Amino acid sequence: MQPTGNLHIGNYLGALKNWVRIQHDYECIFCIVDLHAVTVYQHPAELRAKILEVAALYLAAGIDPADCAIMVQSAVPAHAELAWMLTCVTPIGWLERMTQYKAKSAKQESIGDGLLQYPVLMAADILLYQAGIVPVGEDQAQHLELTRDVAQRFNSLYGDTFVVPNTSLPTVGARVMGLDDPTQKMSKSATGLNHAVALLDPPAKIRKTIMRATTDSLPAVDFDTAGPGVLNLISIYQAFSAEPDDAIKAKFAGMRYGDLKKQVAEMVVAHLEPFQQRYREITADPAYLAGILRDGAERVAPIANHTVLTVKQRMGLHT
Ligand code: AMP
């Protein structure tokens, strides 16, 4: 995740919650991608603080640092090194087609080169560790496809080097939509007051934001005609509660929107209150957090360095 803005329930349901679920089934590396964050200007002091905030949120969500590595991208120079080598095998047309690049660059007066290269750096983050599975939200599926294409292109030019990774999307919550506008994905950079529920929002604010969510002109839930706002609220509830489809249908069919919103708000508050309590405990001990990040970088650096050495050898670079 990028250490920018406020992490929200979309980040949690699309990515973080699934990381916690699979963390003991695989050898996991969870990165805080600060080099990606600076593809648009970040205030240095705020960025420094956000990196620690995101690390603490990973831990509060339940990532177990005894089993998984939690690390900051810029602490392992191999990320930037491999990104350059991959840049050199990536056609510019592949990058210009990326929908996230098109959306982000449309908002900038002057487009930094880093914004275009963003997915190549992401490919480096993944290929560096020969990752088999990358658990992300749906908005990252296109970047994962590009990562696969870059890996295959490198492998065909220089011989088998990279594992071609698979994308893992959650079945519910892969694309949480904005509460003020359910046609847009919930996003950290959106400015609307009622757009998102941030993971660190106090309960009163969570309730207020959800009670104001946009629905449609019908009075109550009808699964055959429900609009995107209603379906978004129901899928947020289901992603938190992990109830099967038939239980969700039985619970919400015919329910008035006001009651639906109350149920969703209470479900979100019930999950986020203990999460926020753990966050406060973790951030009370900055030395603990710094130690986890140092340890994470030390654990993954040998894997990353080994890949970079192999890539240099394959390309004929000086080693
Ligand atoms: P980012 O905000 O780009 O740092 O994304 C961090 C992770 O959260 C990525 O795996 C995204 O796919 C996921 N994510 C971001 N926004 C959403 C959303 N609205 N719904 C589901 N997943 C999301």
pLDDT in tens, 212-241: 999 998 999 999 999 999 999 999 999 999
Own/partner pairs, 274-281, CB within 8 angstroms, 24+ separation = 275/60, 275/61, 275/199, 276/60, 276/199, 276/200, 278/59, 278/60, 279/56, 279/57, 279/60, 279/199, 279/200
Closest by CA to 154, choosing from 133, 130, 118, is 130
pLDDT for residue 273:
97
| Burial readout 196-234 (b: 16 or more C-beta within 10 A, e: otherwise) | bbbbbbeeeebbebbeebbbeeeeebeeeebeebbbbbb
Contact residues for 85 (Cβ-Cβ < 8 A; gap 6+): 311, 312, 315, 317
Please report where in the chains the tokens 């088999």 appear, as a residue: 132
Q: Which of 6, 140, 175, 188 to mutate to test the pocket of ligand 1 (most atoms within 8 A of CB)?
A: 140
Q: Given 50, 188, 251, 312, which residue is catalytic?
A: 188
188 CA from centroid of ligand 1 (Å): 9
Q: Are residues 62 and 157 in the same domain?
A: yes
In a domain, 3, yes or no: no
263 and 300 inside one domain? no
Same domain, 188 and 280: yes
**Residue 213 falls within a domain, yes or no?**
yes
Supply the CATH number for residue 177's domain.
Answer: 1.10.240.10
Question: Residue 1 falls within a domain, yes or no?
Answer: no
Asked whether residue 2 is assigned to any structural domain, the reply reads: no
Q: What is the DSSP letter of 278?
A: H
Spatial contact of 147 and 127, defined as CB atoms under 8 Å apart: yes
Query: Do 202 and 121 share a domain, yes or no?
Result: no
Minimum-distance ligand 1 atom for the alpha carbon of 1: 4
Closest CA to 15 of 245, 170, 206, 154: 170
Q: In this structure, which residue's CA is closest to atom 5 in ligand 1?
A: 1
Q: How much is the pTM?
A: 0.94
Mark the ranges of the chain whose per-residue pLDDT is less than 50: none
> Does residue 160 sit in the same domain as residue 205?
no
40 and 151, same domain (yes or no): yes
| Same domain as 241, residue 212 | yes
Would you tell me how many other CB atoms lie within 10 Å of the CB of residue 114? Answer: 13
Residue 180 lies in a domain: yes
What domain range is 261 assigned to?
A: 173-284
Tell me the two tokens of residue 67.
């089993």
Count of domains observed in the chain: 2
Note whether 274 and 294 are same-domain residues: no
Q: Sign of the C-alpha dihedral, residues 192, 197, 201, 206?
A: positive
The answer to whether residue 4 is domain-embedded is: no
Distance 291 CA to ligand 1 centre (A): 26
The verdict on residue 24 lying in a domain is: yes
What is the spatial distance between Cα 87 and Cα 79, in angstroms, rounded to a whole number?
12
188 and 275 assigned to the same domain: yes
Q: How long, in residues, is the chain?
A: 319
Same domain, 160 and 217: no
Residues enclosing ligand 1, CB less than 6 A? 1-2, 10-11, 13-15, 136-137, 139-140, 174-176, 185-186, 188
Domain with 48 in it: what CATH number? Answer: 3.40.50.620
Q: Are residues 157 and 186 in the same domain?
A: no
Residue nearest to atom 18 of ligand 1 (CA): 10
- 197 and 233 in contact (C-beta within 8 Å)? no
What does the pLDDT look like over 250-304, one tens digit per residue?
A: 999 999 999 999 999 999 999 999 999 999 999 999 999 999 999 999 999 999 9
pLDDT at 221: 97
Catalytic, 102? Answer no
Q: Is residue 220 part of a domain?
A: yes
Are 92 and 55 members of one domain?
yes
The residue nearest atom 15 of ligand 1, judged by CA position, is 11
Angle at 273 between CA 59 and CA 270, to 5 degrees: 115
